[in-house]
Structure 1
Amino acid sequence: MNKYELFQARWNFSRLVLCNFLALALMGFWLWPTANIAFTHFDEWLFNLLNHPLGESAVWLDIWTVASMRPFDIVVGLILLSLLIKGDWVIKAVHVRAATFGFVAILMLLLIVRTLFDKGLKHLGLQHSSPSMVVDGALKLSNFFPNLPGYLDLKDSSNQSFPGDHASVLLIWAMFMTAFSRTVGQRVVIWCLALLFMLPRLVAGAHWGQDDYIGGIAMALLALGWGYYTPFAARVSSFMVRVTAPLFKPLSYLPGVKNMSVVRYSEV
């Protein structure tokens, strides 16, 4: 198998158009006043369902407080990365390095999409505050733990919560991994993890549901479409595999590390 089978070697216009159409359709539906009111009512119910139990159990409160801290995002990132580079789980070992660089390339596109989203929303005056700041009776984690050190950075509120950045990264990872998955079991694990790691921001009230299932999905679809269904990921991945080969060579002599698929194989 070569790079042309790992990523799209040429423009896949049908899939690209589909990704863009779905993203724009989601945003259009969200902007429709009647649908937006329905989303808001649903999200208020969802927030109360997830947030109110925080006041009923100290253990439950502690779990979601830890999960809502910025350092926990590092743990999540390591889990997702380990599954991405685990050879022969979803992605074949020989292609792990190329796939990793391809994923990073798509994340770069996601950053561009997010920047454009931000500018557009501000220009149109469509930004909104998170539920923890506007819903009556919201339980804010920072009120329970007012003396947490700043470096823990408890994420439970935002003046600009749309779209969900955290969710978009999880969703693009899930979509990317699903594109290479071969079994139902793999897809179940992938999407269960993505949804599980999206929950902390929803429980804490840093995001509305629509920030994730509208904004997060729309951004992920745009980044996936322009990254995976064009030659972009294939070309960036191929280039990065070539230029980083000298950096990986010394790692191939280190015990333990040398057996990692991302180090051991470099074929595109």
Structure 2
Amino acid sequence: MDYPALFQARWNVSRLVLCNLIAIALLGIWMWPTGHALFTRFDEWLFHLLNQPLGQNAVWLDIWTVASMRPFDAVVGLILLSLLIKGEWVFKTIQARAALFGFVSILLLLLAIRTVFSKWLDHSSLQHDSPSMVLTDSVRLSEIFPTLEKNWQLKDRSSQSFPGDHASVLLIWAMFMSVFSRTLLQRLVIWGLALLFMLPRLVAGAHWGQDDYIGGVMIALLALGWGYYTPFAATTTNLLLKVTAPVFRLGEKLPVVKRLSVVRGS
């Protein structure tokens, strides 16, 4: 059975403008001194709520220590990738390959937007340290487990906390999947996972909440708007489908690989 193309090579001006307006509004509210003060007050409360139990509960400490290490990020990436390319869940099997390439193209756009935005932040006074570096009563995982920080890249602080890179990737995945999701259950799973996997950086103190719900959302919205609601994703996906076609034809001959939705889909 044939299915409509996931991406259309046309401009959706109304959605593009909406994504940009929301992103600009978030940045404006964050830069407004009163708004920034309110966000910071809320984030201090949120950080203490999540971080202080690390010093009181060994199980809580162990869970978030593991979740704050770089290898866990790889596990998260595999989970998100698996759901993205899983045939007959959000996407039909025949659409899985295009979905993968479309997401990759938007993700690359997100990285470009993040780079440009970071250059602008570097020349402003808006950048800030993470809460673990600012709040003296924070429980620092790197001080409790210095070996893990060195050998397993335990992440609990940053001198360039805004915006949350980790959160922006999770959010663009959730937004992308939500565009194509068909049921409430799918959306609950998608956003539940995104919010859950955003928590380690907040618990450990590598990011303030505003780095995620302002910075991460802003960057993700810009990437979604300029990637999906313009011809960008359609053009890039079609190009990647053509370039990689020989590779996937080879994959169809490999015993295990040929069972993957991205290989079976054509």
Q: TM-score range by the shorter chain?
A: over 0.9
- Aligned-partner Cα distance in 2 for 1:34–1:256: 57
- Aligned-partner Cα distance in 2 for 1:69–1:147: 12
**Which position in structure 1 is the counterpart of 2:43?**
43
Q: Deviations over 1:218-262 (max 9, x none)?
A: 000000000000010011111101110101112112223212110
- Aligned-partner Cα distance in 2 for 1:112–1:2: 31
**Which position in structure 2 is the counterpart of 1:27?**
27
* Contact 2:142 2:149 (8 Å CA) reproduced: no
- Aligned-partner Cα distance in 2 for 1:193–1:147: 29
Aligned residue identity for 1:23 = A
What are the ranges of 5 or more consecutive residues in structure 1 without an aligned counterpart?
A: none
- Aligned-partner Cα distance in 2 for 1:116–1:253: 42
**Which position in structure 2 is the counterpart of 1:9?**
9
Q: Deviations over 1:31-58 (max 9, x none)?
A: 1111100000000000000000001111
- Aligned-partner Cα distance in 1 for 2:36–2:156: 23
What are the ranges of 5 or more consecutive residues in structure 2 without an aligned counterpart?
A: none
Deviation at 1:2, TM superposition (A): 5.7
Deviation at 1:173, TM superposition (A): 0.1
Greater than 6 Å deviation, 4+ residue runs? none
**Which position in structure 2 is the counterpart of 1:159?**
159
Aligned residue identity for 2:147 = N
For residues 121-200 of structure 1, the aligned pairs below 5 Å read 121-148=121-148, 150-200=150-200
- Aligned-partner Cα distance in 1 for 2:252–2:149: 40
**Bigger mean CA deviation after superposition, 142-151 or 41-50:** 142-151
Identity %: 69
Aligned residue identity for 2:254 = L
Deviation at 1:149, TM superposition (A): 6.2
- Aligned-partner Cα distance in 2 for 1:190–1:251: 29
**Which position in structure 1 is the counterpart of 2:53?**
53
TM-score (norm 2): 0.97
- Aligned-partner Cα distance in 2 for 1:206–1:108: 24
- Aligned-partner Cα distance in 2 for 1:106–1:12: 16
* Contact 2:155 2:201 (8 Å CA) reproduced: yes
* Contact 2:149 2:155 (8 Å CA) reproduced: no
1:75 alignment partner, SS class: helix
CA RMSD after TM alignment: 1.1
- Aligned-partner Cα distance in 2 for 1:33–1:120: 19
- Aligned-partner Cα distance in 2 for 1:264–1:151: 39
Give the total of aligned pairs: 265
Deviation at 1:148, TM superposition (A): 2.2
Aligned residue identity for 1:262 = V
2:252 alignment partner, SS class: helix
Aligned CA distance change for structure 1 residues 121 and 242 (closer, same or farther; 3 Å):
same
